[in-house]
């Protein structure tokens, strides 16, 4: 563990900006909303800003992205195909631990199993990640229930924890260690382990009652969802509140579903696009021959909660698919963000 003075913490970002495209939490001036997005320089980054509305998912899995271009000449019957990869080196600075957990889930999905997604891999393999421990949880957060915060324990290159006049700096990789050496950071004494633990414990104590109350319940709900012991009318209650907008998927740091479309350009070339998709859409599960295994909305809706909370799915991610950020709760036109669904299931169990 190392130390850096609070006033100098941005020198890490400045150092990264020399080699990487810099991304971080940035506040939109007009509407006061926080995005995790590309910044011009470290001056735009706000480490104290609330959890960004837009998770860093978009840095590895953009909302819409060209993955291939082709042009077919009808006369000569000549087709030119060109794969499109992002070659940018990206540094994500000030990532919240839940969002890192989201990227870990995406890693497992896109590159962690038999099939490796090259497009994703190109985004991911040159990346430098600096996480930022949440010393105060935000209103909708429940990462303590999903083992994804308030501090990160793996997957980062550097981890920052604010403690008084200093940031504690931990290295999680060789790249991280090299950066610490380059910056010549002072080594922190053993007493700082205790200091960090206190900071994290204090943060945990500040979570909303409902969250701490729900902590044991998430694992019970996981058990219920995995074993299928949830009554149909609970899913129907959830399903009838689904407006089928897809928002929960789009804002989720770990949702990975996508669709492929060919976009014909004005110049007669074609872009093959990958776009975000959502399991809440009827067309998403539609199969050839008019067969749709998940036609009713409640069947599509409960799929999301199987994906986030069932054991079989968690085995693929090596952690729960839900990272406890609470974003689905504030974008939902119904009242079926994940924490609420846990509450509904919990209500059924206790009744």
Q: Does 115 bind another protein (CB under 8 A)?
A: no
Count, residues near another protein per rule CB under 8 A: 48
Report the residue from 107, 117, 162, 277 that binds another protein according to the rule CB under 8 A.
277
Report the residue from 136, 282, 293, 311 that binds another protein according to the rule CB under 8 A.
282
Residues ≥6 apart with Cβ < 8 Å to 100? 129, 131, 148, 152, 155, 156
Coil/strand/helix, residue 192: helix
Q: What are 218's two structure tokens?
A: 């998430």
Q: Does 43 bind another protein (CB under 8 A)?
A: no
Q: Which is nearer to another protein, 228 or 283 (CB)?
A: 283
Q: Tell me 228's DSSP state.
A: T
Q: Does 247 bind another protein (CB under 8 A)?
A: yes
Min dist. Cβ of residue 36 to another protein (A): 10
Min dist. Cβ of residue 153 to another protein (A): 29
Q: Which is nearer to another protein, 16 or 54 (CB)?
A: 54
Of the chain, the end-to-end C-alpha distance in Å amounts to 48
Residue at token pair 């590309």: 38
CB 234 within 8 A of CB 344: yes
Q: Does 166 bind another protein (CB under 8 A)?
A: no
Q: Does 39 bind another protein (CB under 8 A)?
A: yes
Q: Does 184 bind another protein (CB under 8 A)?
A: no
Q: CA–CA separation, 47 vs 131, rounded Å?
A: 10
Q: Does 54 bind another protein (CB under 8 A)?
A: yes
Q: Does 93 bind another protein (CB under 8 A)?
A: no
Q: Does 303 bind another protein (CB under 8 A)?
A: no
Q: Which is nearer to another protein, 70 or 108 (CB)?
A: 70
Q: CA–CA separation, 222 vs 147, rounded Å?
A: 13
Q: CA–CA separation, 286 vs 309, rounded Å?
A: 23
Q: CA–CA separation, 178 vs 105, rounded Å?
A: 26
Min dist. Cβ of residue 278 to another protein (A): 8
Q: Please give the helix or strand (H or E) that residue 235 lies within, else none.
A: helix 232-239
Q: CA–CA separation, 329 vs 89, rounded Å?
A: 33
Q: Does 26 bind another protein (CB under 8 A)?
A: yes
Min dist. Cβ of residue 21 to another protein (A): 12
Beta strands in the chain (DSSP E): 2-5, 21-27, 34-38, 64-73, 78-83, 90-95, 128-132, 158-163, 166-171, 186-187, 258-264, 270-276
Q: Does 32 bind another protein (CB under 8 A)?
A: yes
Residue at token pair 């053993």: 190
Which segment (22-30, 67-75, 120-128, 212-220) binds another protein by CB under 8 A? 22-30
Q: Which is nearer to another protein, 63 or 312 (CB)?
A: 63
Q: Does 60 bind another protein (CB under 8 A)?
A: no
Min dist. Cβ of residue 186 to another protein (A): 33
Binding flags for another protein, 317-346, as an x/- string (CB under 8 A)? -------------xxxxxx-----------
Residues facing 68 on adjacent strands:
83, 272
CB 69 within 8 A of CB 84: yes
What residues make contact with another protein under the rule CB under 8 A? 26, 28, 30-33, 35, 37-39, 44, 53-54, 58, 62-64, 240-241, 243-247, 250-251, 259, 261, 263-266, 273, 275, 277-278, 281-283, 286, 290, 292, 330-335
């Amino acid at each position: 563990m190392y130390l850096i003075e609070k006033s100098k913490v941005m020198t890490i970002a400045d150092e990264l900006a020399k080699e990487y495209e810099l991304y971080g939490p940035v506040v939109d001036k007009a509407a006061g909303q926080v995005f995790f997005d590309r910044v011009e320089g470290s001056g735009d980054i706000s480490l104290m800003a609330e959890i960004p509305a837009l998770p860093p998912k978009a840095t590895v899995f953009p909302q819409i992205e060209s993955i291939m271009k082709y042009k077919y000449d009808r006369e000569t019957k000549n087709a030119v195909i060109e794969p499109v990869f992002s070659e940018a080196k990206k540094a994500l600075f000030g990532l919240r631990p839940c969002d890192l957990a989201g990227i870990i889930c995406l890693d497992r999905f896109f590159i962690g199993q038999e099939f490796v997604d090259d497009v994703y891999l190109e985004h991911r393999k040159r990346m430098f990640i600096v996480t930022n421990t949440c010393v105060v949880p935000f209103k909708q957060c429940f990462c303590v229930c999903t083992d994804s915060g308030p501090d990160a324990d793996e997957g980062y290159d550097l981890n920052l924890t604010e403690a008084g006049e200093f940031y504690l700096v931990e290295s999680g990789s060789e790249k991280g260690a090299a950066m610490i050496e380059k910056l010549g950071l002072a080594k922190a004494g053993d007493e700082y382990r205790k200091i960090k633990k206190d900071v994290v414990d204090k943060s945990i104590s500040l979570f909303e009652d409902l969250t701490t109350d729900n902590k044991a319940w998430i694992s019970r709900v996981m058990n219920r969802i995995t074993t299928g012991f949830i009554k149909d009318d609970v899913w129907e209650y959830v399903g009838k509140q689904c407006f089928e907008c897809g928002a929960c998927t789009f804002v989720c740091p770990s949702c990975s579903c996508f669709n492929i479309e060919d976009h014909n350009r004005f110049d007669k070339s074609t872009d093959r696009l990958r776009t975000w998709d959502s399991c809440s859409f009827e067309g998403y599960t539609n199969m050839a021959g008019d067969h749709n295994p998940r036609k009713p909305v409640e069947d599509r809706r409960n799929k999301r909660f199987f994906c986030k909370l069932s054991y079989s799915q968690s085995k693929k991610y090596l952690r729960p698919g839900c990272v406890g950020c609470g974003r689905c709760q504030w974008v939902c036109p119904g009242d079926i963000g994940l924490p609420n669904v846990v509450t509904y299931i919990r209500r059924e169990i206790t009744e």
